[in-house]
Amino acid sequence: MMSQAFYTGLSGLRSNQYAIDVVSDNLANISTVGFRGSEYEFSSLFGDMINTDANSGSGNSSVSLGTQMQSTSLKTSVGSLAPTERSTDLAILGNGWFGVQGEGDPVYTRDGAFTFDAENDMVTADGYYVLGTIGNNISKDNILTKTIDTMALGPVSAQEKLRFPKSLSYPPEPTTRVAFSGNLGGVDVQQTIGAGAVDAQNNKNDIKLVATMSVPQVFPGSQWDILATAASSDGSTIYDTQTGKLSFDEYGSLVGSTLTSLNNNGVVVEIDLGDNFTGMVDLRNTPAYQDSQANGTVGGDLRGYSINKNAEVIATFTNGMQSSVGKIAVYHFQNDQGLERVNSSKFQATQNSGNPIFFQNAAGENIIGTDISNFKLEGSNIDMTYGLTELIILQRSYDANSKSVTTADQMMQKALNMDA
């Protein structure tokens, strides 16, 4: 029995040393972005039964042979968030992992310090490629084919390195409709209303309406002659000229128009003047005013990429337009504790963790399944106060086990001297 004290103390020394190593590693990485700390777990070694008589009592009559480090488990709490100045810095606010890939299989991390390299690949600080879904809205000629507000993730197996072109063009959307509104004022004064219109060649041209009161007037309403032109912005080229007539009733409400469209350098533009009291009116004793609204967008060139809170990669253009062109994948596992640590902030899947999966919404679409915050990074989930307290406790335990070995040695010396 006396020798068991040696083994018990030695096992305690070894187990506490392992635990001190775990806590020390946690504290050493307290400033590591995306670090997930480990927790130590002890278990008792097999013990001998002192009393095997079942009738002697109901208490525990075993003597354990010490302790051992059973395992280390992953701390899954979310670390503190630190603000940054880059929209490509992301923090996962709930469960989930970013997927990144180097030369081998994908690994998973909470470190969202992403950026674009010289080839416009989205990468981590240490050169791993970020995985996600690329939108099918960029042509081979690097022209945006459609605008996407939000997009779903593809299958887990289809996630790929996020690479985007250095140059990207937003094509012009020609103007197909111009709506005019205003009050002609009911007096014989020429009125001019203008609007901008984009053609298929990405030119912003001028559409102009000149209204002149008709002669003679047919009462009780009023009539106006309209001269409509579509011309280049400098007025050097006239693309089309049309004439028409507006008819108003005695209350100033528009009841008829013969002007329907103009040709804007090859694009037919609908002229919408409204009806009744919407659009153009002719109200006496009311100040004249004019207004116009046109659809269409001038083309633009890529200004840069950014990431929003939905993990969408957003392309911004010089014409002020934006579109999603990709989405960063956020993976989930059946058992996060089963992940195997590769380094301080990266992990790989194992049989215990299960294969990575995506969450789905009610429509069956793959989603990130958590909240993302950009302009932030998740720090270590280790609290320094907790770590230092654990070190003190483990140090005291280590000292106590050391003392037990010393005491066992002293008892052994006394026993030997008694025998002598």
The sign of the dihedral angle between the CA atoms of 299, 300, 301, 306 is negative
- Asked if residue 309 belongs to a domain, the reply is no
Q: 398 and 359 share a domain?
A: no
Among 161, 228, 216, 163, CA closest to 192: 228
Q: 249 and 334 share a domain?
A: no
Look up the domain containing 42 and give its range.
2-76+381-419
Q: 188 and 238 share a domain?
A: yes
Q: 25 or 98: which carries more pLDDT confidence?
A: 98
Q: 113 and 126 share a domain?
A: yes
- Asked if residue 67 belongs to a domain, the reply is yes
- Asked if residue 317 belongs to a domain, the reply is no
- Least confident window among 2-16, 190-204, 390-404: 2-16
The residue with tokens 């060139």 is: 301
Q: 274 and 196 share a domain?
A: yes
* Structural domain total, the chain: 3
Which CATH number covers residue 257? 2.60.98
Distances (CA, A) of 158 to 296, 301, 327, 329, 416: 35, 29, 13, 11, 73
Q: 23 and 68 share a domain?
A: yes
Q: 181 and 192 share a domain?
A: yes
Specify the pLDDT at position 6. 67
- Asked if residue 311 belongs to a domain, the reply is no
- Asked if residue 58 belongs to a domain, the reply is yes
Q: In the predicted model, what is the mean pLDDT of residues 319-336?
A: 96
pTM over 0.85? The answer is: no
- Asked if residue 116 belongs to a domain, the reply is yes
- Asked if residue 136 belongs to a domain, the reply is yes
Taking only the tens place, the pLDDT of each residue in 81-137 is: 999 999 899 999 999 999 999 988 999 999 999 999 988 899 999 999 999 999 999
Final residue belonging to a domain, choices 294, 318, 337: 294
